[in-house]
Structure 1
Amino acid sequence: MSRPLIHLVTPARAADNNGNWQTAARWARLLRSTADCRIAGDWTGTEPGPLPDGLIALHARRSAGAVARWRAAHPGRPLGLVLTGTDLYKDLPAGDPQALRSLDLADRLLLLQPEALQALPAAHRARADVCWQSTTPRRTLPKTSRHLRALVVGHLRAEKAPELIFALAELLAERQDLFIDHLGAPLDPALGAQAQALAARCPRYRWLGARPHGETRQRIQRAHLLIHPSHMEGGAHVVMEAVCSGTPVLASRVSGNVGMLGEDWPGYFAPGDADSLRLALVALRDEPARLATLQARAEALAPRFLPGHEQACLRNWLGRLGLAEAPGCA
């Protein structure tokens, strides 16, 4: 078949510099040899140029308008839906009518880690596929033993649990050898004000605000550890970026993180529990063998997130949608 034209809808913009935007931009690159992808924030039916052969939308609720308009205008053309953490762990459990309607209208669903299947309503699981996200590997850098620098990457909003990091910094105030760098835009201004005030009184906590993606990846490489404290996750981009840099990950034991890292990952802490996080972090600093073990596990897990596997799975998913000639995804 000829190369299809795919309209790829994501509510995130390039300026947002978040996981959804990174996913859309990466897919357009990975599918370049298979399809022409047009990234947009919506689909209205008035876009210039030829009619797309199919529509793929990220986020069931936030892209609900585009999904409904596409299905009404082109009932016979393929429609794929990619489910985010907010869909799976917030909107769908709450019975959001727009999110549920998007599920009903989609031909195929795509999940970003296998634990997400359990969060998907049972009636829709037969139409769902799982595809690991990917990133380019980075060289593992040597780090000083004089201190431990932990990095947190996530815009300041409730789902990313920034207040847990604030509490952690307070609990570690007497530790001269533990530093926390916190990256992320203040999407909630009140959380931004808290971060700024904390940095002023706690010299080993730094809030660095939003940083370009390239700089963020460099900071991940240089950190001893990534802390990922989210209350909910669909499949965090930053987790695989850390793993593919040989940087250990200390993560909240929530479904999205377990789906990325595995049930037996040795670096979990109880979600929302600052003392659990403190104990885990202190143990990694005070017992270097623990940190070395966690780094070795990250290096062993990295092949899961290499681009070739994601590219093959995406092509196969397009095949199931009728947008490419491809066998089923393993």
Structure 2
Amino acid sequence: MSKQTICIASPALAQANNGNWQTARRWAQFLGARFEVEIASDWRDAAPPDLLIALHARRSAAPLARFCADYPRRPTILVLTGTDLYRDIHADADAQASLERARALVLLQPAGLSELPLHLRAKAHVIYQSAPSLQPALHAAAPRHHDILMVGHLREEKDPRTFMQAAALVTAPSARLVHIGGVLDPALGDAAAAAACATAGRYEWLGALPHADTRQRLKHAHAMAICSRMEGGANVIIEAVTSGVPVLASDINGNRGMLGEDYLGYFPQGDAQGLAALIDRSINDPAWYAALQEQCAQRAKLFAPEAEQAALLDLVDNLLHTN
């Protein structure tokens, strides 16, 4: 008996190496043992699948609309991955139509439920993303550098300027702010290059790196900073937490959904001085840093690959069984 087929319609493919691609790649692996799975920008590139998973309400609106029109009885899942949840569904007609069309909605953390219209929340499911755990790196008692890593392409939604500005405000001599990410906004690329020159080694911009290299860099960091203006459920938070690396996070809905309401490591979004103060405290206050580590360790079980796979397979099986 042939396997049922699934297409993951992703606005980003391998060359983008961004959050949407990482989600698509991981879900294809999770589903592959039970189904025939293809990742494509449009399901029409192959035979029509038995189930369509569309990533991003606005950017995948066209393939989702065509599939629902051509195969109205076949199930669809819409994954709200970030900018669509916190921006597009409130203003963009295509994104709003996607919410109505999809048979099921997936959010990457529970705080995002409040963004959905009330009548759509019943078809929403929360599936935390995951990453394999890495053995935490051993650090010297008095290291020469405490690397604070930011991972994210240079675009306004990630607010890299706050990270750059914090480099000029930290006071701990060992602090070094290291940024991994390619240029999507040329003006921000210019700003990164200028910051690297102006801070005499306090801020380093490494550009884009392969995912495996980035994960190893993250594993050896003192902390990870995420400065974003909006996030659906940042995979880089998961990769930090599952590597034993504490997170310093902008105080936004999506980050609270990942790290919890009582997490100690928040700073006001856009507040470079607030981020710098947390960096200094993480280096100078061992007890506070240990508390951050413990809070992250408590969240790590939410981000286990087996938990994500089980939740995803359960949703897909139910949709195909009841179709």
TM > 0.5:
yes
- In the alignment, structure 1 residue 109 sits paired with structure 2 residue 114: no
In terms of mean alpha carbon deviation, does 2-11 or 186-195 score higher? 2-11
- CA–CA separation in structure 2 for the residues paired with 1:265 and 1:254: 12
TM-score, with normalisation over the residues of structure 2? 0.95
- CA–CA separation in structure 2 for the residues paired with 1:289 and 1:120: 39
Residue of structure 1 in register with 2:83 after alignment = 86
What do the CA deviations read for 1:208-230 (whole angstroms, capped 9, x no partner)? 00010000000010000000111
Aligned residue identity for 1:281 = I
Q: Secondary structure at the match of 2:87?
A: helix
Task: Structure 1 unaligned segments of length 5 or more: list them.
Answer: 326-330
Aligned residue identity for 1:192 = G
Contact 2:172/2:280, CA 8 A, preserved across alignment = no
- CA–CA separation in structure 2 for the residues paired with 1:263 and 1:34: 37
Residue of structure 1 in register with 2:16 after alignment = 16
Contact 1:318/1:324, CA 8 A, preserved across alignment = no
By how many angstroms is 1:65 displaced?
A: 0.6
Of 150, 162, 167, which residue of structure 2 is paired with 1:164?
Answer: 162
- CA–CA separation in structure 1 for the residues paired with 2:276 and 2:204: 17
What do the CA deviations read for 1:2-26 (whole angstroms, capped 9, x no partner)? 6310011000111111111001100
Task: Structure 2 unaligned segments of length 5 or more: list them.
Answer: none
Q: How does 1:141-156 map to 2 (within 5 A)?
A: 141-144=137-140, 145-146=142-143, 147-156=145-154
Aligned residue identity for 1:184 = G
Q: How does 1:153-232 map to 2 (within 5 A)?
A: 153-172=151-170, 175-202=172-199, 203-232=201-230
Residue of structure 1 in register with 2:134 after alignment = 138
Of 91, 96, 115, which residue of structure 2 is paired with 1:100?
Answer: 96
- CA–CA separation in structure 2 for the residues paired with 1:133 and 1:34: 19
Counting aligned pairs with the same residue, the percent is: 47
- CA–CA separation in structure 2 for the residues paired with 1:182 and 1:270: 20
Cα 1:159–1:122 shift into 2, 3 Å: same
Residue of structure 1 in register with 2:4 after alignment = 4
- CA–CA separation in structure 2 for the residues paired with 1:118 and 1:2: 40
What do the CA deviations read for 1:199-247 (whole angstroms, capped 9, x no partner)? 0121111000001000000001000000011110000000000000000
Q: Secondary structure at the match of 2:39?
A: strand
Residue of structure 1 in register with 2:235 after alignment = 237
Residue of structure 1 in register with 2:120 after alignment = 124
Contact 2:108/2:129, CA 8 A, preserved across alignment = yes
Cα 1:136–1:65 shift into 2, 3 Å: same
- CA–CA separation in structure 2 for the residues paired with 1:309 and 1:29: 14
Contact 1:17/1:213, CA 8 A, preserved across alignment = yes
Residue of structure 1 in register with 2:54 after alignment = 57
- CA–CA separation in structure 2 for the residues paired with 1:65 and 1:92: 15
- CA–CA separation in structure 1 for the residues paired with 2:320 and 2:12: 26
Q: Secondary structure at the match of 1:11?
A: coil
- CA–CA separation in structure 1 for the residues paired with 2:28 and 2:299: 25
- CA–CA separation in structure 2 for the residues paired with 1:293 and 1:316: 35
Cα 1:242–1:323 shift into 2, 3 Å: farther
- CA–CA separation in structure 2 for the residues paired with 1:151 and 1:270: 18
What do the CA deviations read for 1:276-325 (whole angstroms, capped 9, x no partner)? 11211111111111112212222232111111111110011113322689
Aligned residue identity for 1:234 = G
- CA–CA separation in structure 1 for the residues paired with 2:231 and 2:41: 22
In terms of mean alpha carbon deviation, does 316-325 or 291-300 score higher? 316-325
What do the CA deviations read for 1:86-142 (whole angstroms, capped 9, x no partner)? 11111112x200000111111111111001101112121111111111110000011
Q: Secondary structure at the match of 1:216?
A: helix
In terms of mean alpha carbon deviation, does 143-152 or 252-261 score higher? 143-152
TM-score, with normalisation over the residues of structure 1? 0.93
- CA–CA separation in structure 2 for the residues paired with 1:187 and 1:323: 42
Aligned residue identity for 1:304 = L
Aligned residue identity for 2:98 = S
Aligned residue identity for 2:42 = D
Residue of structure 1 in register with 2:27 after alignment = 27
Cα 1:71–1:278 shift into 2, 3 Å: same
Aligned residue identity for 1:216 = T
What do the CA deviations read for 1:168-212 (whole angstroms, capped 9, x no partner)? 11223x542110000101100110011011101211110000010
